[in-house]
Amino acid sequence: MEITRRAVEGWTELAIVGRLDGYWAEHLDTGLADAVREGHHKLRLDLSNVSFVSSAGIGVLVKFYKRLDAIRGALVIVRASGPVRTVLDMTRLTAMLVDDTPDDPGTLTLGSTVVRRGLVCELFELEVGAPMRVRAIGGEHAVGSPADRQVAPVALSCPASTVAVGIGAFGAGDADGLHRFGEFLAVSGAAACLPADGTEVPDYLVASGTEAPSLRVSRGVVCDGPFAREVRFETVGPGGVVALAELAAVCLELSRSDAAAIVMLAESTGLVGAALRQSPFDADTDDLFEFPDVRARLTFTAERAFQGSLALVAGVVQKPGGPIPSSQMRPLGCDDLVGHFHAAAFSFRPFKKGRLVLAETVRTLFEDTGVQGVMHLVNDNRPIVGVGQSEFARGACWIGALAG
C-alpha cells in the first residue's frame, strides 16, 4: 500500500493505492493518526486506486470521521473506486463519507508513504534527477599488500557536498603519520576516523565556515553532489529490525539507478564490523589478513556492538557491473548486491519526525555527542559462529543516484 499526501486549499489529501484489508488497515490507521497528530484536522481521501476494502478498512475510516468531527475537523472521501463505492453503499456510509464535488488535484507538499520489504517508508523529494559523481581512490591490489604500500596517499577535502568512506587519517601529511591510517567516513562537512595507532579512540573534525575537514586517504570511495531523496523508515510491527543489506536494497530501488550513495542516521540494535588495529603501511607482510597474525592487526565484532546506539552510516551500493571498482566493494548478502559501508556510533538521541536537514542534523550530532566508535560494516556469514549483519529499527536515509 502507498499513501501520498497533498495540500489542497486548506485540506490535507491522502491518496491511497492498494488494498485496505485487515493487514493494511493498520497502516492506514497509523498514517491518519500521524496526520492528525501533526495538526492536519481536515482530511480528504482519494481512494480511486484502492482495489479492495474490508470491514477493517471501513472501521478505520469511520473511527477517524468521528474523531475529527468531535474536534470540528472533517474526513471526506473525494474519489472512490468501484469496489470502495460498492462497500460504502452496502454499509450505508456513502452519504456520510463521500463528497462528489469536483476538486483541484492540489500540489504535493508532504512526504509520500510506501511499503518496501517490510519497511514503511516516508519519501521526501530533494534534488530529483541530479546524479552524484563517484570516484575511487586506490588501486586494484589488496589492502596492506606490498603494492598498496607503494601508493602515495592523496589529500581529500570533505565539504558538505561530499560523502566518502575508506582508509585514511587526519594530519598525516608526513611519513610518520602513516601509522595512524584507519577507517574513516565523511558526511556533510563532518568526518570521523579511528586511528590504527593503538589508542582505539575515534577522532573527528567538523567544518567551520568555509573550511572543510581534510584527510590523507590511501583507499576509498568518494561521492560528490546533491541527494535526490530522503527516506524516513520504520519496520512493520513493534520490535522489528531490518538488516543493512535489506535497507541498502530498498534505498537502491528508491534511487531508480544501478548504483547509489547512502547516508543513514538510524537507531541501531547492533553493529557488525571490523576496524584496523595496525595501519596497512606498518604491515610487513604480503597478506594483511593472514591468520593468525590478523588477530593483532584487525578488531572484529564477535557479537553485535553498540546496541541501542544512534549510528551514522555512509557508503555505496550497486548492482553487479556498476561504476565502482570491485576492489572497493564486498557482497552484501542480498540480491547479488555489493557495497561498502562505514559507521560511526553515538549515544542515542531522538530526532523530530518528518523531513530532516542533513547538514544541520549531522552538525548537531557531532557537537552534542561524542563519537563512540568507527568501523567498516561487514556481513559475518560464517557457519554457526557468524553474527550476521548490522541491524536497525528506524531512522532516515539520504539517497543519491551515482554516475561514474
Q: Tell me what pLDDT residue 404 has.
A: 66
Architecture category of domain 126-404 in CATH: 2-Layer Sandwich (3.30)
pLDDT at 138 over 60: yes
> Is the pLDDT score of 337 beyond 90?
yes
Q: Is the pLDDT of residue 235 over 60?
A: yes
Other beta carbons within 10 Å of 219: 23
3-state helix, strand, coil in the chain (%, to 5): 20, 40, 35
Average pLDDT over residues 164-179: 81
Minimum mean pLDDT range among 84-88, 125-129, 173-177, 353-357:
173-177
Residue 21: what pLDDT?
87
How is the chain split into domains, by residue range? 2-110, 126-404
**Residue 248 region, left (φ>0) first, then alpha (ψ -120 to 50), else beta?**
alpha
Beta pairing, strands 2-8 & 11-20: antiparallel
Q: Which amino acid is at 311?
A: A
Percent of the chain predicted with pLDDT > 90 = 51
Instruction: Kindly report, residue by residue over 250-292, the tens digit of the pLDDT.
Output: 999 999 899 999 999 999 999 999 999 888 888 777 777 777 7
* More confident call, 294 vs 76: 76
Residue with cell 549483519: 389
Per-residue confidence band for 102, with pLDDT thresholds at 50, 70 and 90: low
**Rounded distance between C-alpha atoms, residue 121 and residue 32, angstroms:** 15
Report percent pLDDT > 70 for the chain.
94
At residue 101 the predicted structure's pLDDT band, cuts being 50, 70 and 90, is: low
Residue 174: the pLDDT is: 62
Q: H or E element: which one contains 97? A: helix 94-97
pLDDT of res. 109: 43
In DSSP terms, which residues pair with 317 in a beta bridge? 260, 339
CATH superfamily of 2-110: STAS domain (3.30.750.24)
| Nearest to 346, CA basis, from 190, 233, 199, 161 | 190
User: What's the average model confidence in pLDDT over 152-181?
Assistant: 86
Mean pLDDT, residues 318-335 taken together:
91
| Under 8 Å between Cβ of 178 and 144 | no
Question: 115-137 pLDDT, tens per residue?
Answer: 777 788 888 888 877 889 999 99
Q: How high is the pLDDT of residue 128?
A: 76
Residue 189 grid coordinates: 562537512
Model pTM above 0.85: no
- pLDDT score for 136: 94
Q: Over 80: is that where the pLDDT of 78 sits?
A: yes
Distance from C-alpha of 136 to C-alpha of 147, rounded to nearest angstrom: 17
pLDDT at 270: 95
pLDDT digits (tens, 9 = 90+) for 379-403: 998 888 889 999 999 999 999 999 8
Lowest mean pLDDT, pick from 28-37, 230-239, 248-257: 230-239
Query: For the residues 52-74, what does the mean pLDDT come to?
Result: 91
Task: For residues 20 and 54, give the distance between their C-alpha atoms in angstroms, rounded to a whole number.
Answer: 6
